[in-house]
Amino acid sequence: MNNQTKELMLVVACLAIATLVYWSANQIPSSLLAKTSAGLVPKIVAISLILLAILHLILVFSANRTSNTQTSNSETSTSAIDDRTERNDGRIRIALLVSFMIIFVLCLELGLTEFWLLALSFVFLSVLAMSGISSRSILIAASIAVVSVGATIVFFTKIFTVILP
Amino acid sequence: MIYDLLSSFGDMLSPTPFLFILLGTLSGIVIGAIPGLNGAMLVTLSLPLTYGWDPLNAIGLLVGQYVGSISGGLVSATLLNIPGSPSSMMTTLDAAPMAKKGNPERALQLGIIASFVGGTVSWLALVFLSPPLAKIALSFGPHEYFALVLVALMLISSLSEGSMAKALMSACLGMLVAFPGLDTITAQPRLTFGFPQMLAGFDLLAVLLGIFAVTQLLTDAGNSMASAERIRLSGKMYFVALSDLSKQAFNMVRSSLIGTWIGILPGIGGSVGSIVSYVTAKNMSKTPEKFGTGCDEGVVASEAANNATVGGALIPMITMGIPGSIIDVILIAALTLHNIRPGPLLFQNEPHIVYGFMSTMMIANILMLFIMIFGIRLLAKLIDVPTKFLVPILLLLCVVGAFAVNNRVFDIWVMLGFGLVGLLFRSWSIPVAPFVIGFILTPIAETNFRTALILSDNNLWDFFARPITAMFLVLSAVMLLIPLFKRRRPAITTRNEH
């Protein structure tokens, strides 16, 4: 994805959020308790965001027109390929962790099983995703999961009397 | 005031609060020393634990972590050439080369002593500037308060890195996140989109955990797993000569004053403080060519300034309720959890909290000096801690922390959602500080703005008829326009050169 597309997506996201907020704030009926409606400030901020998004769009396009005139020389060296591979690996790790978290929270929400079991599976799978699969890493992941989940449960419930999910 | 402060020192030095300060400082140093983990994340993670505590114990732990994390960044900056915290970014420029030349102990000790001096100078500013500032702030009405918040938002946006339009967009998005829930004046539900969970709005802690901790941890997970070159400490005890320290005395005080001043500006943390101080030290040095090659002045300037921002940043937070840095936002959240509202009335209503902040900061500063000087060999081992094993454990703590305050799974979703929002912000190079400051200050700004409108019968002109409000509004407008002039100036210069 090039820079311009990325910035365009940002502007679109901001415009969508601001429009949604404005529309929702506009639905609030005026109250007798206050002369100023509860939707007044959200509407002002939404309009400001729309104006800023448009300004940003103009700035991006005007800057892009200038930079287009300059020639760009792209090299594909071995280190660049390594960097790209490393970046892709990083993205995969992030995607895996986010997926594990979503499944973890979804299971908590639906009350499918006990917290400790879910937490244990989450830490185990996440450590594996971070360190790669091998018999050594499975052993390390299992030990880390048992110790950390055990410590978390004891620490939160016994020492700080926090209620766990 | 002196009596209150001494009495607060007595309270905070009693066993329980002291233990929390010690724990906080130690954990802050440890987290600061591990690359990839930072103070904001640690303080946010610790916040849910403090919910049922005595507020002074909570302040002891959190302020200790704040001081410790800023100082701990020095360790990895020196031994790994990677800043442990963003505020020690400039320290790497000279501390790492000095360590590579075979003097890691010298770099660390200079940094530790400079950090202590920076912390002490800013503590003095905190003690002597806060009471008069709070008195001034007490005379503010809703008009002035709204305008002050506007100045804070403009200031943080204009000083953020990169595009100011993006910084302002970030502030607006932060403000929008603060709106859902029941309106503070009319109690009408707004922006809830039919979700009953949204009636209470987005939980402050869940948003902070998401935007600070989850974003940081996911970023760490995505970063390169290749290990950096490590520099080991020799087995010998080493102490910097007094004559070398006295040569740096002026630099230390100057950098501390710069750091304190930068800290007072809303939302600007240690990283900006250390950059400004480092550049000033280089410009005023007789040997500027030595900067970046491992010179004492560089290490001292950066470390004195970043620690000085701590005390400076606490000044607007205590006196006006406006966070001086990102961690101050979390401290405000901590006070809110304990039903304490920071601001000018804090001096009148809860003086023990104000002086608790002051005494804790000094105690933590002294503890930091001793822990780091005598425990440096142990701390140096922290750079070997593999982040890949810590990330899943800390994510689990985030889940538990987000759930703990309200016992709602919804808050975990909010945390996860804002963690992803933080990642998008990073990918779009949007500064996160204006977002967080916008989020935390919006309820204050909105309530004061609408109260002011009610008081002045919806007459907007009333804002300009009051001198202080008008001054703040003009200041906001100037800060909004400065980038336009900055943008134009090179163009004019180029045209003149042609």
Q: Are residues A100 and A155 in the same domain?
A: yes
Contact A40 B224 (CB under 8 A): no
**Is there a domain that residue A106 lies in?**
yes
Distance from CA of A36 to the nearest CA of B (A): 7
Is B232 domain-assigned? no
Closest residue to B409, CB basis, from A53, A109, A152 = A109
The span from the CA of B42 to the CA of B213, in Å, is 8
How many whole angstroms separate alpha carbon A104 and alpha carbon A119? 7
Which pLDDT score is estimated for B486?
A: 59
Determine the straight-line distance between the first and last CA of chain A, rounded to whole angstroms.
40
Structural domain total, chain B: 1
pLDDT in tens, A98-141: 999 999 999 988 888 888 899 999 999 999 988 888 888 899 99
Share of chain B above pLDDT 90, in %: 19
Same domain for A155 and A99, yes or no, is: yes
CB atoms A24 and B224 under 8 Å: no
Environment class of residue B2 by beta-carbon count within 10 Å: exposed (0-12), middle (13-18) or buried (19+)? exposed
**What pLDDT, on the 0 to 100 scale, is given for residue B158?**
75
Q: Please check whether residue B230 lies inside any domain of the structure.
A: no
Radius of gyration over every alpha carbon of chain B, rounded to an integer in angstroms: 22
pLDDT tens digit sequence for A143-157: 999 999 998 888 777
Assess if residue A137 is contained within a domain: yes
Q: Is residue A87 part of a domain?
A: no
The whole-angstrom distance between residue B412's C-alpha and the CA centroid of its chain comes to 24
For the stretch B449-483, pLDDT in tens is: 888 888 888 888 888 888 888 998 998 888 887 76
> Average pLDDT, stretch A67-91?
66
- Which of A17, A52, A156 is the closest to B168 by Cβ? A52
Q: Is residue B235 part of a domain?
A: no
Do B391 and B221 contact (CB within 8 A), yes or no?
Answer: yes
A78 assigned to some structural domain:
no
What is residue B140's predicted lDDT score, i.e. its pLDDT? 83
Q: B165 in contact with A at a CB cutoff of 8 Å?
A: yes
Q: What is the pLDDT of residue A145?
A: 92
Which residues does chain B have within 8 Å of residue A86's beta carbon, measured at their own beta carbons? 224, 226
ipTM reported for the complex, 2 dp: 0.89
Are A8 and A56 in a shared domain?
Answer: yes
Is B496 in the A-facing interface, judged by CB distances under 8 Å? no
Minimal-distance CA residue of chain A relative to B408? A165
Nearest to A28 among B163, B166, B190 (CB): B190
Whether B394 maps to a domain, the answer reads yes
Write out residues in chain B with pLDDT < 70, as ranges.
Answer: 36, 84-86, 159-161, 224-229, 235-237, 267-271, 483-498
Which chain A residues are within 8 Å of B405, Cβ to Cβ?
none
Give the chain B residue whose CA is nearest to the CA of A7. Answer: B428
Of all residues in chain A, the one with the smallest CA distance to B186 is: A33
Looking at the domain assignment, is residue B131 inside a domain? yes
Give me the residues of B, 456-475, that contact A with CB < 8 A.
457-458
Domain that holds residue B344: 2-223+243-497
Q: Identify the H or E element spanning B42.
A: helix B39-46
Q: What is the mean pLDDT of chain B?
A: 84
Domain contains B142: yes
Burial class (CB in 10 A: 0-12, 13-18, 19+), A70: exposed
- If one counts the domains in chain A, the total is 2
Look at residue B252 and tell me if it is in a domain. Answer: yes
Examine residue A75 and state whether it is found in any structural domain, yes or no.
no
Residues of chain B contacting residue A29, judged by C-beta atoms under 8 Å apart: 188
Residue A15 distance to chain B (closest CA, Å): 11
- The Cα B104–Cα B98 span in angstroms is 6
- The residue assigned the tokens 């109690």 is B187
Domain range for A102? 92-159
